Amino acid sequence: MKVAVVGATGLVGSVMLKVLEEFKFPVSELLPVASEKSVGKSLTFCKQNYPVLSVEEALKAAPQIAIFSAGSNASKKYAPLFAEKGTYVIDNSSCWRMYDNIPLIVPEVNGSILEKHHHIIANPNCSTIQLVAVLSPLKKLFGLKRIVISTYQSVTGTGVKAVKQLFDERNKQATDMVYPYPIDLNCLPHGGDFTENGYTTEEMKLVHETHKILQDKSIEVEATVVRVPVTGGHSESVYAEFDVEVNADMVRNSLQNEKGIVVQDKPAENIYPMPLHAEGKNDVFVGRIRQSLYNKKAVNMWIVADNLRKGAATNAVQIAQLLVEKQFV
């Protein structure tokens, strides 16, 4: 099986290669693709060296699967060209997510909707993935009326230049500013661009993508996105209101055996999810589950995941696995 990774030398692309290797995905030939300045260099995958290719070279090779993590512009231009050749494109950008005819997939949540004719498949936003992974099984059991989310997002979600800004500031070195303000010792309530309604594009992604994945536009979604000076993963404080009365034990027990979810909820022992411990792991971690003080139908919880893993690369590779399981490739 030929697999192209478009954006292979980037922060997410390099993790995609690690995950493909760790998951022992059946790659017979890897086609690593990057920008012109990287073409001709080599990278190692499964103890073999592979030359970095241009996107045109990868197109000619007609891979069965192409995983994109090269930004919306590249996806918009090249994903349809791969799809025309019969390649299944799994796209990590925001480009295709809200098209009605393109599935937005978290395999554990809505993998069943993936069909053979879907040659472009959208990978959701990192914050949305970990949110719906936890909420989906709860929605099935209790219904879901309203969620209020505040995110605490890692600088890795912005990219390698943002990580450099953080550590340059920490080391008191001059740096190129990716954010409008310093990020070290600071929190920025600013993810993406501000829109006319006062919310940011990252906040509205949480609204629209949650509606699409859970197939329910009636859910009230309120989001505040905050960038914080950490690198291990994204954290979310979530207030969830259901259709029926629930308590913390019901929620905790419902999530205990869900695939891909790890419940860490023993506050008396200081056990709760943190990005420090989520980094490098593929699961979604949930804890601090407690009933609302004022609403018997609501709980508060804390959700953490490595945004480069389950929030991006791992979810994309799991979609590729789904294509194999369904015998589409």
Is residue 6 within 8 A of residue 55, CB to CB? The reply is yes
Q: Which two tokens stand for residue 186?
A: 């600071």
Q: Which of 95, 118, 119, 234 is catalytic?
A: 234
Q: Name the strand (E) or helix (H) holding 194.
A: none
Please measure the distance between the N-terminal and C-terminal CA atoms of the chain and give it in whole angstroms: 8
Fill in the amino acid letter for 285.
F
126 catalytically annotated: yes
Is residue 104 within 8 A of residue 90, CB to CB? The reply is no
Q: CB 105: neighbour CB atoms within 10 A? A: 25
234 catalytically annotated: yes
Q: Distance (Å, rounded) from C-alpha 87 to C-alpha 9? A: 21
CA 46 to chain centre: 24
Q: Which of 117, 119, 126, 277 is catalytic?
A: 126
Q: Distance (Å, rounded) from C-alpha 141 to C-alpha 329? A: 34
Residues serving a catalytic function are 126, 234
